[in-house]
Structure 1
Amino acid sequence: MWSLKTKIAAGLVLVVAYGLLAIGVALSLPGSNVVFATDGDQLVASLPGHRTVTVSAFSDGQRDVPATARLVVEEPDVLPDYAALNTLFATHQWLAASLAQGTLQLRDTQGALHPLTPQPRHLTALPGLFWLQLVCGLAGMMICLLVWVPAQRDIALHSFALTGLSYVLFSSAAAIYSTRDLFIPGQLFMWLSGLNHVGALLFSASLGAFLWNYPRRAPASAWTFAFYAAFAVAIVIDQGQWVATPVAGFHLWVMGIFLLGLLGAAWQGWQTRGHASHRAALRWVVLSIVAGTTFFAGGMILPAILQVALPASQGLLFTTFLLMYAGMALGVVRHRLFDLERWWFSLWAWLLGGLLVMLTDLLLAMLLSLSGPITLTLSMALVGWFYFPVRQYVWGKLFLRNQPGLETWLSRALPAMLTAQQAQQDQSGVEQALSAVFRPLVQERLPVRAARCSVQDNGESLHVPDPVGPQTYLLRHAHEGERLFTRHDVEIASLVLSLHELVSQTRTARAEGASEERSRIRRDIHDDLGAKLLHLLHHCADDTKPLVREAIRDLRDLLRNMEGHSLSLEAAASQWHEETARRCADHTVTLQWQEDLAPTMLTASQFSEMTRILREAVSNALKHSATTTLNVTLHCDGEQVSLQVENDGLPASSECGPSRGLDIMTTRAMKLGGHCTHGAIEAGWRVQMQIPLLTQGGT
């Protein structure tokens, strides 16, 4: 059973992880060399060199799309109908794809074209409005977490916690797309907008369920169910676009569910008459909720519903929801909301205690420096440096008495051991595990292997035999010199050795199982699929036989890779030359093959991946461009293999096949520790690959 602090810590880790995920998604959005802004209904662009033009359209050389201020709209659901919303998503999908392909240009009102080049976004480039929305959403979730974890479980608390979850969902999603530079993949835009709608509708439903169940339970559970049923129905209608406009499919549902929730506050007021404490708590809750939601409803929801004025900045309005959660936190202090009592104060003290100590010390230091007494400054320094550590030490010795248990040393030893073994296969990891568990000041290796673990030098050192080599690990001064080694440490060291044996047995069993399964699969493929392909080769038409032979060759390469057999580079080059020549002949393309090879061996993985890279490069040249001549240059200097494929035809930009193939080639080269580049050259296309022979990647 987890302690309260452990649950809170786990929850906070999840909140922080979600925040980092949102930041990562925001950084993944493409930027460009041009800064866009709006001037009324027009889109203006600041070009490199501080020149500003009015954008009339975007072009990829084949298609022009009109440029309007709608492209940089902060919130897409304020558009008049779902058709406009879908058009916006589709336009952004085309813009992002064209920018990534390097074909996007903007056309100004004078008809001049200006190329746009993609640029990565950096952390410092994220605008302040992004951080404001994200931090407010995370802060609201953390407040809900601190209320929900220690409180007694009931429907009101669950609903309140869901408001925090929904708040961080819709605020973080909006933070990403509302602060984009301009470009965002349309699919991602659509998903983020959908997440924003899910969060907003869940927020209204959870808030309504909360108001109907706090401080008194609703007259029937059906009331609570109705709110979440309405949420589900609204999501289906909105995301399925069963109606014509976002107003009917989203905004009216958000407002309607929220107003039904406020009716619950009126019912609570009637039920709590004559009960002073409940009535005071209800007033505080309603005041907090109204303060946190009124601004957003009046500044965003109502203008979108009425279509009478441009909504206010959504990012700024999102921050007002934090007023609701801040009011709830103050209500816990003033009115003991949710019956949290001392646990809530203990948790807040745990989280904020360190911050308050630092702020108090800083304030005192500032005051003392202003007053000038040197002796008082030194006294405060001595108190800060010595009193607090001594007090915590005495408190731990007298009251906590926390001795490292099984989970403590195991949590230190196992990760250190596994990390060492993963970094270097011949490492046992015992040395790293002992260092993590005992934290000695000195750790050495003795050339003679001890018979067993033992404490030496009156507790100053610990001898531990290496389980895989003729040596002994000598550890001196446990816990960085804070204590001596004891017989209990001998038992822990023996357990570390037992842990190593268990890990070794597990790894051996896993390797043996994988090897047996690989052999079985290889036999089944050879016996079944190989036989069927040979049968097909002898009975198929003549024009199909080359394809079947190619499939048989691929099958042999696959089986060779599964067997893990190495191959000389000369033999590999011969196979590559033969296959490439045959494919060029089939497409009436002239092949010019050049090779300069040093004697070397390729692993099965290197041969397999390099074969597929060459095959994909040749496929792109033969299938996706008007190629008449193909030049292949293969070079090896003994340290790396270089492969260059050039053709005299440019790939068609409208086809998605080459782009996927190029990405796959890059991934395969990186798997081998090398790299793959590609690009246009004069009137052709070039693919280059360098693979280091010393890196056995992917084996």
Structure 2
Amino acid sequence: MPSTWRRSLPPQALLAIITAIGIVAAAIVTALASALPAPEVTFEAIDDALVVGTAPEELAHLRGRRVTAFHPGDARIPATPTLVIEEPDVLPTYEAIQAWMDDQGALAVALAEGGVWAELDDGTRAFVPAEPRGPLELPPAFYMQLVFGLLGFLLGGAIVSFKPKSLPTRLYALTGACLALAAFTAAVYSTRGLAIDPSLYRVLGSINASGSIVFAGALLGLLFTYPAPLAAFPVPAIALLSSIACAVAANSHVGEKAWTGPQTGVLVHFLPCFPVAYLQWKRHATSPVNRAALQWFFLSIFSGTILFFALVLAPPLFDAEPFAEQSSMFGVFLLIYAGIAAALSRYRLFDIERWWFRALAWFLGGLAVVLVDALLLVTLPLAGVTATFAAVAIVGWLYFPVRQWVWQRIFRRREGQFGQLLRSFVGRLAGTRSLEAFPRFWREMLDEAFSPLEVEVVEEDVPRPRITAHGQSLEIPGFGHVPALRLTYPGRGARLFSREDLELAEALRSLVAHGGAAVADVERGIENERQRIMRDLHDDLGGKLLAMSHVGTPETQELARAALQDVSDVLAALEAGPTTLHALVEQCRWELQTRAESHGFRAELVQTGSTEDRPLTARESTNLARILREAVTNAVRHAGAEHIRVTVHFDPPHLTLEVRNDGAVGDPSLFRMGRGRKTMKARAKDLRGDVTWALEGDECVTRARVEFGAAHDELRESTLFVRGYTAHSPSIRGHREEASDARIRAHPERRPSRRS
């Protein structure tokens, strides 16, 4: 086969070739087993004797009778349980195996000639006829071993088909091939009727022993190389050569069986697997994903091999009989292949993607259709076109619905979970109208979708979503205000990233990018509107107020100048940017002291609680400053306060702004809820807070408590100032509460007298 053709051969073609080899081998084994002549009665080993088990009606008188000997020709062979032993390799010596083969040869000749005479416990003889069995007459134990071996061979071949150049996958496939060799050959001689030709057994037994020993050598090499080679030393090659040498010694009957037998060869290569596995575990101590994968890997391998070794192979080493039948114990090897198949889905063992399951399932599904059709055509008691139509109908109405049901149960995607994630994503996206909030929103969605252990910003350019570090990391490009991110260890470290994760990340990123573009358009519109309002305030209203400040009565001029200052404050608020809590406190301290000097009251501002400085948005700083300004204005204008004490108490995330004055006060519950107080409450509410008024002793206390980090979205922030100062600003709407300082300066005689 040309090397270029081999390199271009697709995985499905390789899998088809491997499947064909397995099916042909199974057919050959079935033909060999069917060709062996078998007595029409069965013999069971009970204690130290052979007893007739099942028998046809014409031989019903033999059921339960004890057989003491067989008479093939002129020979007499004692009827001992050794004659029907399942695995001759459990005999203690090579000499015992040779004696067993001699007896088998004599009995096989007699059975091939039509039957054998059996001597019963009462000394009488009975002729037991024999004839070859058809495939459907072979015992269940035969097909159990055939299925176990074929499944191991196909699963190992399926993995190597998708990664043929990897040494670990080759070794894994070799274990499957060795399992098939051992199971196929054992299926023939372990389910024989009574005897097997010695030359055939020698071939089958040699293949069985070689498969078992090389299986252990390949397993040792696999553990040494996966997930990473423990050393540069060629341990896998040495293990395979050593196992082949042990197989040659066992099949050549060299030396004592206790030292060179198949069980010893398996033991020599199986025991080192444990320290090698420990070294692999220790080497990957700092990798949680590899550790999790190794847990599955080791559990799958050792759960099957330890059971088989302990129950079948180990007892003969101590001159004891196996604790379980070899035919059924071959099934424990499926724990290896089923467990590793599950780990492939969860941890991508051998760096193979989870779609390996789908490709294998589709292939086996097509193969199953062919096999079911063939089986129906062979077994249906119909002929010609009628049998064909019946097979097609059964496949269409029974097989396909059952297969689809199984397919949905095994490979069903998580539509429900994905739908829930999509609904959550759309809901959050619709409520996120600030570009500054998008990085946090994006991280929250990625955490909900993939549950990574780590999320970090990627400095280098990421042109497109990609899986790195053998599935441990997923890199997602940035966009707009969102940087490129690297997600590591999905599922809280329980799995690796897959192609499905890559597609999901690309879809989510596309949605967020489009949502960010829409929000950017909205913010540009808001900024344009803000600039238009600022121009109108400055050019139209500002110009008129400036003209009024130079004409009219002194009181009118003073009020116009106050209103002009308000317009200036509005413009400053519209242009305001982020600040910090400490900067805001110092700004309020300066403004409070300036007003105290201007209006003749004593002012004091203290800061308590946490000394942590905190960034503030323009809305937060403006709302707090306006609340404080209105509270001071009310204390000076309505109460004629002589001493005002302001306390700023920060207890993250809450801030309390307290204004105490000693002016002429009454019961705050009787205060009229004017526009100034309503505006204060509205500003506090915008920061998830409230403003209260209380009479404590001789002082009136205005207390505002707000929460940082809980403000509304940026769109509301952008329009707050426009709405607040065009709809509520006293100077612009003609209300004069905010211009009280000007009136106080113009008419100091109107300051209210202090009441007790």
TM-score computed with the length of structure 1 as normaliser: 0.50
Report which of the two structures shows the higher radius of gyration computed on alpha carbons.
2
